Amino acid sequence: MAAPSGADAGLCECERSLDARYRRSSRRQRAAPIIWRRCGTRERTITVSEEDFNTFEKKLVDVETAYAEENLGKLKTLVTPEVLSYLAEDLAENTSRGVVNEIRDIKLLQGDLAEAWREGGTEYASVAMRYAMVDITRERAGGKIVEGSETPKESTEVWTFMRSGGGDWILSAIQEA
């Protein structure tokens, strides 16, 4: 078998498998890339406090609200640059289609820690978040509903947050559960 080249160079077999799965995932799943961990680099687990969970809940609302407002400046403070590029691409696609995403009434129903770890000076926490929200796509001109409804819809996703040096948590990945 030939050695991998390009973007796959330097990835181990499990990472290449994850990367291929990522490329086949839906646009919503790609809204935030999977965090690739080099095999054996996880140093140790970390403790996630009640305050951290409150922060994750607030970040859910803040990210969804900023996305609905198409506020890239606010999103930039809440997510990694990689996640921002995917969200910006999604918003640009909405603009080109002449639609806007209306998100409101965001409510976390359940949040469970899936995994927490440290790599070097960076801490990560993956949280399975079950939440409800009104998610409607409307025509920009006229406001006709193209997709969604006024009824809140439940979703479950795993959101991975990261922070460096004890700083603020930012969103680094979203995966459908």
Residues 6 or more apart whose CB falls under 8 angstroms from that of 89 comprise none
Confidence (pLDDT) at 130:
97
Question: How far is residue 8's CA from residue 5's CA, in Å, rounded to a whole number?
Answer: 6
In a domain, 23, yes or no: no
pTM of the model: 0.76
User: What is the pLDDT, as a whole number, of residue 37?
Assistant: 40
Considering the domain boundaries, does residue 114 fall inside one? yes
Decide if 10 is inside a domain: no
Q: Is residue 107 within 8 Å of residue 87, measured between CB atoms? A: no
Residue 3 belongs to some domain of the structure: no
pLDDT in tens, the chain (177 residues): 444 445 444 443 433 444 444 443 433 443 433 333 433 445 577 899 999 999 999 999 999 999 999 999 999 999 999 999 999 999 999 999 999 999 999 999 999 999 999 999 999 999 999 999 999 999 999 999 999 999 999 999 999 999 998 899 999 999 998
CATH of the domain at 140: 3.10.450.240
Question: Structural domain tally of the chain?
Answer: 1
Structural domain harbouring 157 = 38-176
CB 132 within 8 A of CB 88: no
Residue 25 lies in a domain: no
Question: Does any domain span residue 133?
Answer: yes
Specify if 31 maps to a domain.
Answer: no
**What was the pLDDT predicted at 106?**
98
Does 130 fall in a domain?
yes
Query: Residue 137's beta-bridge partner residues?
Result: 101, 147
* Matching residue, tokens 């930039």: 76
- Residue by residue, DSSP assigns 48-68 as --HHHHHHHHHHHHHHHHHHH
